Amino acid sequence: MKNFRYYVIICFTVILSIQVQPVLGNQFKKGEIVLKNPVLEKGKFSFIAETGGCTYKKSFIIKVTEDKSLAGVQHYRLKVERVTPDFCKGMFTDGVKIEFDLEKDCGLKGNYTVSIENKILSGK
């Protein structure tokens, strides 16, 4: 009976750890990330980031590249990169919302168009 109890506990632990693993492992590595639910609205850019509890806005930078003007309007390409990995072990399966102000944080002013260089995760 003791062996069965240990078996059930081990199975439960393995199943739970598989379910809460980050979708893409973005929280553990530096560099370009895959974006989840990116939103560009009212001069703000936000996305959901994977976290173990230690991911903040300062964990990311947005690299801005000026591109050719489109119909007389300046165009920018944005790339989000993680600069600080998150090795915390919390179970935040919904991630954390990260938001940047495009004028204050990225220096974009006036009328412009933007495109996102990161890959975007489909689904919820």
Q: What is the mean pLDDT of the chain?
A: 83
**Residues forming a β-bridge with 35:** 120
Residue 13 lies in a domain: no
Residue 75 lies in a domain: yes
Report the Cα 87 to chain-centroid distance in Å: 15
CA distances from 56 to 5, 19, 51, 73, 118 (A): 40, 23, 9, 32, 19
Contacts of 62 by beta carbon, 8 Å cutoff, 6+ apart: 45, 78, 79, 80, 81, 100, 105, 106
Residue 109 lies in a domain: yes
Residue 37 lies in a domain: yes
Beta strand ranges found along the chain (DSSP E): 31-32, 35-41, 44-51, 60-70, 73-82, 92-101, 112-116, 120-121
pLDDT at 39 over 70: yes
Residue 14 lies in a domain: no
Question: What's the pLDDT score for residue 37?
Answer: 92
**Residues forming a β-bridge with 67:** 75
Among the residue ranges 10-19, 26-35, 46-55, the one predicted with the least confidence is 10-19
Domain that holds residue 100: 23-121
| Domain count for the chain | 1
Residue 114 lies in a domain: yes
Q: Around Cβ 42, how many Cβ atoms within 10 Å?
A: 7
pLDDT at 102 over 50: yes
Residue 67 lies in a domain: yes
pLDDT at 4 over 70: no
